[in-house]
């Protein structure tokens, strides 16, 4: 049966897709991940069977084009928010650079954004504390923060090496939650039993001299997993295992993670999708087991009703890492995202990362 002109146009568009970029560039790209352009001549399409029709290809193309178009809009707005010093503020229009949005933006910037990426790397290295840690934001105290793991993870994925990275990894090996101290372990075992967790399993705190929390522990595990600390290999592996065990210990009873503990005052706390996704990313190098499977299932169920760009972005990154198809969730994310309406640079970066999952194999840099 002869195809229509619209179907011929769709085929032509598919095999040689040209899409505009907001920086005035035009580049060929395939609207289907990992499939080179000009690779499906008509004979091969007939060989692939009746299900692989021009109509289905055109539908996939439209989905891909919408996703990449929304990604480009978000990326344009993200780049526009970069400060002159190379960092990003918490909110568009702000003047105080912060570590979380800057590290996430560095992860989200494609390789061709060389100037913006170099500026971000330079800013992170300049603002690093003398002890190897990072503050939460520019002008914060020099003791360090729970964003240190995220900062060094972004730098490592960008190819940064040298003494600055080594200092950070040494700081991460020294940093630990207060429950690691024998007195606090005794306290949690005897007088303070309102929070149910094993104090022998500790991770990393948000701020020095506080207890371990899920997100800074996950960020720190990402940093330690990406690089072998040859000078303190045994200690690095010990801390990594403790961090992994801490995450499993603090998991909510039904799967997923709350910010800190799963049970308080004998009451099971609700898990959060963003925290759960970050924890799953940190655990992605672990063998699949019951807690990971339960948490993925919880996240799938929660994602059905989640319409928060921040939480959806992290959810997509976790699904992508565990080889769960993400097109359904990227379509939902595209439907709820208004780049100009997002008043949070970290969320903008998370959305950009999530929307790249259809065309990049290791968006967040969790593969070894």
Q: In the prediction, which pLDDT does 205 show?
A: 95
Q: Please compute the mean of the pLDDT values over residues 152-172 and round it to a whole number.
A: 93
- Place 253 in a pLDDT band, splitting at 50, 70 and 90: very high
The SS3 of residue 309 is: helix
User: pLDDT tier at 277 (50, 70, 90 boundaries)?
Assistant: very high
Instruction: Categorize the per-residue pLDDT at 1 as very low, low, confident or very high, splitting at 50, 70 and 90.
Output: very low
- Residue with token string 């499939």: 35
In this structure, the number of other CB atoms found within 10 A of the CB of residue 122 comes to 13
Query: Model's pTM, two decimal places?
Result: 0.81
Tokens of 239: 């801390």
Average pLDDT over residues 50-71: 64
Asked whether residue 28 carries a pLDDT value surpassing 60, the answer given is no
- 328 vs 26, more confident: 328
Between CA 344 and CA 138 the distance in angstroms is 17
- Mean pLDDT value of segment 18-27: 39
Is 145 within 8 Å of 135 (Cβ atoms)? Answer: yes
Number of H helices, E strands in the chain: 15, 6
> What pLDDT is stored for residue 267 in this prediction?
78
| 61, pLDDT greater than 60 | yes
- The kind and range of the H/E element at 6 are helix 5-15
* pLDDT over threshold 90, residue 335: yes
What pLDDT score does 190 carry?
61
* Structure token pair of residue 152: 């060094």
Least confident of 123-127, 197-201, 283-287: 197-201
**Through-space distance between the first and last CA atoms of the chain, rounded to whole angstroms:** 49
> Which of the pair, 174 or 233, is modelled with greater confidence?
174
- Averaged pLDDT, 64-77: 90
Find the mean pLDDT for residues 172-188: 71
pLDDT given at position 177 = 82
Provide mean pLDDT across the span 137-162.
Answer: 94
pLDDT at position 342: 93
User: Please, are residues 348 and 77 in contact by the beta-carbon 8 Å criterion?
Assistant: yes
Rounded to whole angstroms, the Cα distance separating 248 from 25 reads 46
270 token code pair: 């609700």
How many CB atoms are located within 10 Å of the residue 49 CB?
Answer: 8
Q: Is 29 exposed, middle or buried (0-12, 13-18, 19+ CB in 10 A)?
A: middle
The Cα 331–Cα 68 span in angstroms is 11
Closest C-alpha among 126, 116, 24, 129 to residue 78: 116
Read off the pLDDT of each residue in 22-32 and give the average, rounded to a whole number: 38
Domains of the chain: 1-68 (no CATH), 95-105+112-304 (1.50.10.20)
User: How does residue 7 score in pLDDT terms, banded at 50, 70 and 90?
Assistant: very low
**For 288-334, what is each residue's pLDDT tens digit?**
999 999 999 999 999 999 999 999 999 999 999 999 999 999 999 99
The stretch 324-348 carries a mean pLDDT of 93
């Amino acid at each position: 049966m002869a195809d229509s002109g619209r179907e011929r146009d769709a085929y032509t568009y598919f095999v040689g897709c040209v899409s505009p970029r907001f920086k005035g560039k035009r580049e060929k790209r395939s609207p289907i991940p990992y499939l080179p352009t000009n690779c499906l001549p008509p004979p091969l399409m007939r060989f692939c069977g009746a299900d692989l029709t021009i109509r289905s290809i055109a539908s996939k193309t439209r989905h891909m084009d919408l996703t990449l178009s929304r990604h480009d809009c978000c990326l344009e707005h993200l780049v526009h928010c970069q400060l002159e010093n190379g960092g990003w503020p918490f909110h568009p229009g702000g003047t105080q650079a912060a570590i979380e949005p800057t590290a996430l933006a560095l992860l989200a910037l494609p390789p061709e954004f060389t100037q913006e990426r170099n500026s971000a790397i330079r800013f992170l290295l300049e603002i690093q504390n003398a002890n190897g840690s990072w503050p939460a934001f520019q002008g914060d105290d020099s003791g360090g923060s729970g964003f240190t793991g995220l900062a060094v993870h972004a730098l490592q994925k960008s190819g940064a090496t040298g003494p600055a990275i080594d200092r950070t990894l040494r700081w991460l090996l020294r940093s630990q939650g207060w429950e690691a101290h024998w007195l606090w372990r005794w306290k949690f075992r005897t007088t303070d039993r309102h929070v149910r967790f094993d104090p022998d399993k500790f991770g990393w705190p948000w701020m020095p001299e506080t207890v371990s929390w899920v997100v800074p522990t996950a960020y720190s595990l990402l940093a330690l997993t990406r690089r072998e600390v040859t000078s303190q290999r045994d200690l690095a592996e010990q801390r990594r295992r403790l961090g992994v065990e801490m995450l499993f210990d603090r998991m909510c009873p039904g799967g997923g993670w709350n910010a800190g503990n799963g049970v308080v005052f004998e009451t099971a706390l609700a898990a959060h999708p963003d925290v759960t996704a970050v924890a799953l990313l940190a655990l992605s190098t672990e063998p699949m087991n019951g807690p990971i499977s339960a948490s993925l299932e919880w996240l799938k169920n929660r994602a059905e009703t989640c319409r928060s760009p921040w939480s959806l972005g992290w959810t997509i990154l976790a699904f992508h890492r565990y080889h769960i198809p993400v097109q359904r969730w990227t379509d939902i994310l595209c439907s709820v995202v208004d780049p100009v309406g997002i008043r949070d640079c970290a969320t903008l970066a998370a959305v950009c990362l999530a929307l790249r999952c259809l065309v990049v194999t290791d968006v967040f840099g969790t593969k070894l």
